[in-house]
């Protein structure tokens, strides 16, 4: 869906206080940031604003503190990696994103300097899209720039309501995400394939239904595949599976047929009695899953089938891992498919786009991020964009 929005080319930011909404919701373990992709990807916007002499205030949410101050969900651990991503200069940190601390921090800023404000979601008004909270946020700035594509599907105060109070434009990352997704998916080179996996079965079923009218090939993996296998009468044992969604799964299979969209399901599986690292596994044809077993990965035959099908396609969108990739050896299937996609992309046979928190983590683990045509910082927003749904964060930038 194409929506007109303004960009950094349409505003004069020199000497102005710019509120830059970013998504710094990065994975943190024991106080350390474990993946910096979301930080690295906002650097071009921040550098451009610095060069133009703006005073930059970074706004972000982190985790789900639900309107309360939760120390473990402070944005403080992000400060140091952010600092090094921006070339080592020191940043101003404000303990609160509104009120006197925010006011003081924003007043202290000189042209080209950067401040980070504390977690937006420490205030309940953020998720409620509260105009009073949005106005308090807006008080620190003169121009609003949204670079948080990953949060664009949420109608939250720092994404939607704030645009009522300040001139509002899209940042360079937001632009890159939208332009790239539009270029590849508005009129994609066909055949177009989608790989959809992961765990959010019920929510992604709707997506699958919508996708069958957009893609030529739909590879279903992960926990979601089990729901389709079960619906087709195949025993999935103790696997992750939503049995009550069987009718819905069969309906999607029928709609796919009508739309000439080929569905590919796993033909074999790696099965274990429990989800645990280096536990005993068996690899079986998909119709031989033991009653007590859990499907935790696609097997080598499935990888071969997927690879052969993708070799016939020209474009690919991928969200959701094929397996429980966090726990070895169940990462093997996702890694093998990732390498196949990387290879096809490198030899220019495939245009490949992937997105989703866990998906990106899996691709990163496989070491193939750089080989993909494009990796989106977004999960939910990426999916809703593909579905053709309206994204509140983008609509807000259009002034409608």
Out of 358, 372, 391, 393, which residue is the one contacting ligand ADP (CB under 6 A)?
Answer: 358
Which phi-psi region, left, alpha or beta, contains residue 356 (left: φ > 0; alpha: ψ -120 to 50)? Answer: left
Find the catalytic residue in 125, 355, 357, 393.
357
Residues 6+ apart with CB under 8 A from 154: 127, 392, 393
- Torsion angle in degrees (nearest 10) through CA of 229, 235, 240, 241: 50
Instruction: Write each residue from 234 to 253 as x if it is in contact with ligand ADP (CB under 6 A), else as -, in one continuous string.
Output: ------x-------------
Nearer to ligand ADP, 158 or 227 (CB): 227
Q: Is 393 a catalytic residue?
A: no
- Cα separation of 237 and 288, whole Å? 10
Is residue 321 involved in binding ligand ADP (CB under 6 A)? yes
Instruction: Write each residue from 341 to 360 as x if it is in contact with Mg ion (CB under 5 A), else as -, in one continuous string.
Output: ----------------xx--
Residues 141-170 that bind ligand ADP (CB under 6 A): none
Nearer to ligand ADP, 29 or 110 (CB): 29
Question: What token pair was written down for 4?
Answer: 């007109």
Label residues 36-57 b or e (16+ Cβ within 10 Å = b): eebbebbeebbeebbebebbbb
Q: Where are the alpha helices (DSSP H) in 167-318?
A: 172-185, 201-211, 222-231, 246-258, 300-311
Q: Is 291 a catalytic residue?
A: no
Q: Is 357 a catalytic residue?
A: yes
Find the catalytic residue in 16, 21, 38, 172.
38
Q: Is 50 a catalytic residue?
A: no
Angle between helices 222-231 and 246-258 (to 10 degrees): 90
Nearer to ligand ADP, 223 or 392 (CB): 223
Is residue 293 involved in binding ligand ADP (CB under 6 A)? no
Is residue 119 involved in binding ligand ADP (CB under 6 A)? no
Q: Where are the alpha helices (DSSP H) in 90-200?
A: 99-108, 124-127, 131-138, 172-185
Residues in contact with Mg ion by CB under 5 A are 357-358
Which positions are catalytic? 38, 200, 357, 380
Binding site for ligand ADP (CB under 6 A): 197-200, 222-223, 240, 295-296, 319-321, 323-326, 356-359, 379
């Amino acid at each position: 869906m194409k929506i007109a929005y303004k960009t950094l080319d349409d505003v004069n930011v020199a000497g102005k206080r710019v509120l830059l909404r970013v998504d710094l919701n990065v994975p943190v373990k024991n106080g350390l940031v474990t993946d910096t992709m979301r930080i690295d990807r906002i650097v071009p916007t921040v550098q451009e604003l610095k060069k133009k002499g703006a005073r930059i205030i970074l706004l972000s949410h982190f985790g789900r503190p639900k309107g309360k101050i939760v120390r473990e969900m402070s944005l403080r651990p992000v400060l140091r990696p952010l600092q090094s991503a921006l070339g080592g200069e020191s940043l101003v940190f404000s303990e609160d994103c509104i009120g006197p601390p925010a006011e003081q921090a924003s007043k202290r800023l000189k042209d080209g300097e950067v401040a980070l404000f504390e977690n937006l979601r420490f205030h309940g008004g953020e998720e409620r899209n509260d105009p009073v909270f949005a106005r308090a946020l807006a008080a620190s700035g003169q121009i609003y720039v949204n670079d948080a594509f990953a949060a664009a599907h949420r109608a939250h105060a720092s994404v939607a309501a704030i645009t009522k109070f300040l001139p509002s434009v899209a940042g360079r990352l937001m632009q890159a995400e939208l332009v790239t997704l539009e270029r590849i998916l508005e009129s994609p080179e066909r055949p177009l394939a989608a790989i959809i996996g992961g765990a959010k079965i019920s929510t992604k079923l709707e997506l699958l239904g919508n996708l069958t009218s957009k893609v030529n090939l739909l590879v279903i993996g992960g926990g979601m595949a089990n729901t389709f296998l079960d619906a087709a009468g195949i025993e999935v044992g103790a696997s992750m599976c939503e049995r009550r969604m069987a009718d819905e799964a069969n309906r999607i299979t029928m709609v796919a047929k009508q739309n000439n969209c080929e569905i590919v399901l796993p033909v074999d599986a790696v099965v274990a009695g429990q989800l645990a690292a280096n536990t005993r596994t068996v690899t079986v044809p998909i119709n031989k899953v033991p009653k007590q077993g859990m499907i935790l990965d696609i097997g080598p035959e499935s990888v071969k089938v997927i690879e052969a099908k993708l070799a016939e396609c020209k474009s690919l969108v991928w969200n959701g891992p094929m397996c429980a990739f966090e726990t070895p050896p169940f990462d093997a299937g996702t890694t093998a498919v990732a390498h196949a996609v990387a290879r096809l992309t490198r030899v220019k046979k495939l245009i490949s786009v992937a997105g989703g928190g866990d998906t990106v983590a899996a691709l990163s683990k496989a070491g193939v991020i750089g080989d993909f045509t494009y990796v989106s910082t977004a999960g939910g927003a990426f999916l809703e964009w593909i579905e053709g749904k309206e994204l509140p964060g983008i609509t807000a930038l259009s002034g409608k």
